[in-house]
Amino acid sequence: MSNRRIIVLALQTEEDIVVARQRARQIAAALGFDNQDQARVATSVSEIARNAVTYAKDGQIEFALDESAPQQALSIMIKDRGPGIRNLQTILDGSYRSRTGLGKGLIGARRLMDRFDVQTGDKGTTVTLAKTRPRHARPLSPKQLSAVANLLSQPSSPHEELRQQNRELLQSLEDLNARGDELQQLTSELESTNRGVVALHSELETTAQELRRASELKTRFLSNMSHEFRTPLNSILALTRLLLDRVDGELSEEQVKQVRFIVGAASGLMELVDDLLDIAKVEAGKLDVHPAKFGVHELFGALRGLLKPLKTNDAVELVFEEPSGIPVLYNDEGKVTQILRNFISNALKYTTKGSVVISAQFKEPDRVLFTVRDTGIGIAKEYHDRIFQEFEQIPGAHQARVKGTGLGLPLSKKLAELLRGHVAVDSAPGEGSSFFLELPIRWTQDEQENFLPDWDKHADKPRVLVADDEEAFRYVMRRMIDPQKFEIIEASDGESALLAVHASSPDVVILDLNMPRRDGYGVLEEMGRSEKTRNIPVIVSSSLALSDLDRARLSRSRAILSKSSLSPDILSTALNEALARSHHP
């Protein structure tokens, strides 16, 4: 049994409405509802009962205990035999307009109760209301419920209910007045706080203006002084070159040694001046970015040659890991080189044995991460932020051995931010250090546009991705494909091939089948799952003897070429046909 009836009352007169309201309050109190919920139940019953009496003239109200849910609820059913409610849905939506107030009782009751349902027709209307009992209320036994029903069956006084309703109205009015006083006091406090905030904001704005002026003066001073220093330094270096070239006569060994000390000191000072000038330009917003296309492989080659003279310790190995699966970058190669050079030169300075390893990794969807990892002395965590601040250096015995200005890393940080990237460090004493530079693949003027679009899709030359784990065969491909007609990118395994496909959007893929990490079949299947890559033409190039089942698995490819019979003409024909079919499907 889900519902246990408590009491049933007739609804025919205005007095019945008052009695129904009174009984609703008494039942709600007996079921453990607080004063606020008692008033909500009584008000809902009063509104629906008034509708039944006013518009139907005949009805009844039933109070019951609903035990179907985990928590008992007060269930109230109000029935009438009237003509039904027209425009019910319009009323419940709140868009119905009535001069008599029809519909407001329904909407109010629905808001005050937990459950609300209306069934209406030409033979009458039934409104069902329910209010869940409080969690702290104990379940009522049948005996307790009977005692409540017996108590409610006693005659009641409508006047007492009206007096109770008046008391509630007076209490509500007192509560509203008290809240009004609280709001007025809160408003006064907020006005006072606002005045303080306005005054503080004015002070902060004044301070900010002063700081901006001070920063501008510092930047102008650094820029002017850097330019002024460069002229005598250039003269010093030029004069030392004259002396070392013996233009005015021979020098003794001691004099040569002294001149070389002068050259070293002047070169160090010139490097400091250049760093100061670059920092001043960045802060003044006058350092321009000159983006251009360049590959990571070529970047590492240039850095290897540039930094080779700095490697004076044979116990330290300088290693550039071969980049794989990284698309061509569109950024300022000079500034990227400057940042990495600072990282690598620092690593060489503070590493006495072991290695300095430089690597690059593609990060989807549109970033590249450079890492310079060393086996040097390491940096304590509390200094990780300080090393990127100007003129900050880590105290320690190593500073006596290695001299520096503390400008290289701060400048690197500013340059990275200028290139829409950032730098970071991971290090601990005795465990070496890893410095990171993360940049967008494509630099744009607007920071919000740093995504990887098909920016080179309409380049003059179609792009061909050669995916093969054999370096020798990739070399053969580079020789067979006309560099005047095509741009070539490479991948040495299946995973790198997929990264390159998503990052670079090649026009054609030449795919080997037998590759590590993912074979050619897997690459082809993965490309077919993405709308971005499924229409890129694929030419399979393999030395395997393929069965009919193998060829069926390769049905999405545009051509299957045998490596043993491959020639420039065959490859050129396959490329041209693949491109023609991709443009005219």
| Residue ranges covered by each domain of the chain | 3-156, 192-287, 292-449, 463-583
pLDDT for residue 375: 93
Distances (CA, A) of 122 to 51, 60, 104, 118, 212: 16, 17, 21, 14, 79
Flag whether pLDDT at 69 surpasses 80: no
Q: Please count the CA atoms within 13 angstroms of the CA of 361 that sit on its side-chain side.
A: 11
pLDDT at 439 over 70: yes
Confidence at residue 343, expressed as pLDDT on a 0 to 100 scale = 92
Q: Is the pLDDT of residue 585 over 60?
A: no
Rounded Cα distance between 492 and 499, Å, is 11
pLDDT value at residue 458: 42
**CATH among 3.40.50.720, 3.40.50.2000, 3.30.565.10, 2.60.40.420 for 3-156:** 3.30.565.10
Kindly indicate the confidence band of residue 456, based on its pLDDT and cuts at 50, 70 and 90.
Answer: very low
| CATH code of domain 463-583 | 3.40.50.2300
- Cα distances from 558 to residues 473, 511, 553, 574, 577, in angstroms, run 20, 11, 13, 8, 8
pLDDT value at position 452? Answer: 41
Mean pLDDT (whole number) for 331-339: 89
For the stretch 365-424, pLDDT in tens is 789 999 999 999 888 888 888 888 765 666 655 554 555 556 778 888 888 988 999 999
DSSP secondary structure string, 146-215?
HHHHHHHTS---HHHHHHHHHHHHHHHHHHHHHHHHHHHHHHHHHHHHHHHHHHHHHHHHHHHHHHHHHH
Q: Given a cut of 80, is residue 327 above it in pLDDT?
A: yes
Dump strand ranges (E) for 259-353.
292-294, 316-320, 329-331
What mean pLDDT do residues 127-153 have? 82
Read off the tokens for 77.
Answer: 């059913």
pLDDT at residue 187 in the model = 80
For 442, which DSSP code? Answer: B
H/E stretch holding 352: none
> Which has more pLDDT, 162 or 197?
197
Comparing 496 with 448, the larger pLDDT belongs to 496
> Which single residue is written with the structure tokens 């044979």?
314
CA distance 395 to 390: 15
166-170, 441-445, 474-478, 513-517: segment of lowest average pLDDT:
166-170
What's residue 512's pLDDT? 92
Residues across the chain: 585
pLDDT at position 401: 52
The CA distance from 179 to 173, in Å, is 10
167: pLDDT strictly greater than 90: no
In CATH, the architecture of 192-287 is: Orthogonal Bundle (1.10)
The tens digit of pLDDT for each residue in 554-566 reads 888 889 998 878 8
Fold matches, 292-449 and 463-583: no
CA 131 to chain centroid, in Å, comes to: 43
Question: Given pLDDT bands bounded at 50, 70 and 90, which one contains residue 342?
Answer: confident
Q: pLDDT at residue 154 above 80?
A: no
| Helix or strand holding residue 560 (H, E) | strand 559-562
Between CA 511 and CA 491 the distance in angstroms is: 10
Cα distances (Å, whole numbers) of residue 497 to 156, 228, 490 = 87, 52, 8
> For strand 124-132 and strand 292-294, is the pairing parallel, antiparallel, or unpaired?
unpaired
pLDDT of residue 244 exceeding 60: yes
Is pLDDT above 60 for 242?
yes
Confidence category of residue 221, pLDDT binned at 50, 70, 90? low
Mean pLDDT of 349-370: 89
Residue 449's pLDDT is 45
CATH architecture, domain 292-449 = 2-Layer Sandwich (3.30)
